[in-house]
Amino acid sequence: MKKLPKWNEMEEGFITRILSESINKTGTWRTFKPIIDQSRCTKCGWCIVYCPEPCIYYESKKDSKILIDYDFCKGCGICAEECPVKCINMVLEE
């Protein structure tokens, strides 16, 4: 994770700019981390559809490996719940 800024490195007056959502990594909120068991994954893309962030994606084209962007995954667990083959495990964050 990126190191958080010191008080004197931050802009004064708590200002949020456009695309700040790509700078502020919300992955720190996570308690449980979803891990895809790639050997059992059917690449159906159901998790991509359900991810509210959305931070689950195909590595390159459709039907390629499915990956999770942990910088933004908040660990809600919806993907694990919805996975038709139950190949996503929620593991306690270290």
Partner 1 sequence: MQIIEPLTLSGNLAIAYAVKQLDVDVVAAYPITPQTTMVEKISEYISKGELKANLLLVESEHSAISACLSAAASGARVFTSSSSQGLLLMHEILFITSALRFPVVMAIANRAVSAPINIWNDHGDIMPQRDTGWIQLFVESAQEAYDKVIQAYRIAEDDKVRLPIMINIDGIVLSHTYEPVYPISDSDVASFSPWNLYSPRLDPDNPITIGAFCYPDYYFETRYQSLKALNDSLPIISNVDKEFGELSGRSYGIVSPFKCDDADIILISMGSISMTVRAAVKKLREKGEKVGMLSLKLFRPFPSKELIRYIKNAKAIGIIDRAFSPGAVAGPVFTEVTSALYLSKMDIPSVDFFLGLGGRDVKMEDIKDIFNILKRIVKTGLIERHSYYIGLRG
Residue selected from 2, 3, 16, 78 as contacting partner 1 according to rule CB under 8 A: 16
Residue selected from 2, 3, 15, 77 as contacting partner 1 according to rule CB under 8 A: 15
Q: Is 8:53 a contact under the CB 8 Å cutoff?
A: no
Strand pairing of 56-58 and 88-92?
unpaired
Near partner 1 by CB under 8 A, which window of 13-21, 38-46, 73-81, 85-93? 13-21
Residue selected from 13, 23, 52, 61 as contacting partner 1 according to rule CB under 8 A: 13
Distance CA 73, CA 93 (A): 12
Contact status: 59 vs partner 1 (CB under 8 A): no
Q: Minimum distance from CB of 90 to partner 1 (Å)?
A: 22
Separation of CA 18 from chain center: 20
List Cβ neighbours of 51 (8 Å cut-off, separation of 6 or more).
78, 79
Distance CA 25, CA 61 (A): 25
Nearest to partner 1 of 16, 64 (CB atom):
16
Residues lying near partner 1 in the complex (CB under 8 A) are found at 4-8, 10, 12-18, 28
